[in-house]
């Protein structure tokens, strides 16, 4: 249960970074919602990796490079699911605000992320 709570905290931090960067880029730059979201997702992923590696899961016992590659693999897959849902929502509902689409897509991809990180990335070698 402690891992799930810490994962939720990491996700909350990632969500704040994702939403904050997306909102800032949409407000301060000419970037549209699709490019801005790619940048926001990348920064959120870096934030959650640092938190999850330090506080949520025990280190896997693998090298930092291997663990980072595994985290990236799960993260990129989850991000593709998240971005795909986000894009589909914006394209099918043109009046939907990008931040609302982000919230819905993030919620939908959260379960995939936890399973992938806990089973593929941070599970020890001997498990």
The predicted-structure confidence for 98-116, as pLDDT tens digits, reads as follows 999 999 999 888 888 888 8
**pLDDT at site 2:** 81
Q: Which residue has the higher pLDDT, 25 or 7?
A: 25
d(CA 101, CA 104): 5
Cα three-residue angle 48-87-99, rounded to 5 degrees: 60
DSSP for 95-125, please give it.
Answer: TS-HHHHHHHHHHHHHHHHHHHIIIIISS-T
Q: Identify the pLDDT of residue 127.
A: 47
């Amino acid at each position: 249960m402690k891992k799930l709570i810490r994962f939720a905290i990491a996700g909350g931090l990632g969500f704040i970074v994702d939403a904050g960067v997306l909102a800032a880029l949409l407000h301060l730059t000419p970037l549209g919602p699709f490019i801005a979201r790619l940048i926001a997702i990348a920064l959120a992923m870096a934030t959650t990796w640092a938190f999850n590696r330090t506080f949520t899961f025990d280190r896997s016992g693998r090298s930092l490079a291997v663990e980072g590659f595994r985290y990236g693999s799960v993260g990129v897959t989850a991000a593709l699911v998240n971005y795909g849902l986000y894009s589909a929502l914006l394209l099918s509902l043109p009046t939907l605000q990008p931040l609302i689409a982000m919230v819905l897509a993030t919620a939908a991809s959260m379960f995939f992320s936890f399973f992938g990180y806990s089973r593929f990335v941070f599970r020890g070698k001997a498990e």
